[in-house]
Structure 1
């Protein structure tokens, strides 16, 4: 399970390593362009039902922490789907990897 540390918060957001690796690419690209946006995810099964959203801005510190030492092979299709959602008024919604429905 990967961890995303947001701002000064010491409690990380838990996101599966593979999903976090894909999010990192999209988030880094958007922030490098000085674009602000939201990120929304559903709470894990062991947490109370619901979802959370954070506002991402270039001035807010982020740290990505991965359990696996090696980077996974990235899916260009999943990155494109996440990037497309980032460009909407709803921001990035953590979509499942099978965006094409063929996995």
Structure 2
């Protein structure tokens, strides 16, 4: 289970594979100096609700992965998440598109 840390006070758990895809989308938006909304489902221990934060390029952000290798990246999932990040509703995790007919990219951890 990976973690996204934001502004020194927000800590969000995501599976490593999900976090890797979110990192690509979030980094692309922030590099373009774009702010946007990120929302997620809370853990059952926190009431099983939803939370959201406004991501801004000037605020500190860190990713921590449980595993040592970067997961395979699904370009179709990146495209779907990017579309959401560019929408008025903001970025949130959706199911990964079927990868049977999708070319994936292998990336080594840096």
Q: Given the two structures, how large is their TM-score scaled by the length of structure 1?
A: 0.90
- The residue number in structure 1 matching 2:95 is 96
User: How big is each residue's C-alpha offset from its partner over 1:16-41, in whole Å with a ceiling of 9 and x where there is no partner?
Assistant: 11000000000000000000000011
RMSD after superposition: 1.8
Distance 2:60 2:32 in 1: 15
- The residue number in structure 2 matching 1:79 is 78
How far the C-alpha of 1:100 sits from its partner, in A, is: 4.6
Distance 1:51 1:43 in 2: 5
**Runs ≥4 residues deviating over 6 A:** none
How far the C-alpha of 1:44 sits from its partner, in A, is: 2.6
CA gap of 1:36–1:68, structure 2 versus 1, over 3 A, is: same
- The residue number in structure 1 matching 2:107 is none
Q: What runs of 5+ residues in structure 2 fail to find an aligned partner? A: 101-110
Q: Is the 8 A contact 2:74 2:99 kept in 1?
A: no
Distance 1:47 1:17 in 2: 21
Distance 1:73 1:93 in 2: 20
Distance 1:101 1:45 in 2: 29
**2:20 corresponds to 1:18:** no
Query: What aligned pairs does 1:1-103 form with structure 2 within 5 A after superposition?
Result: 1-9=1-9, 12-97=11-96, 99-100=97-98
Distance 1:76 1:23 in 2: 12
Q: Given the two structures, how large is their TM-score scaled by the length of structure 2?
A: 0.84
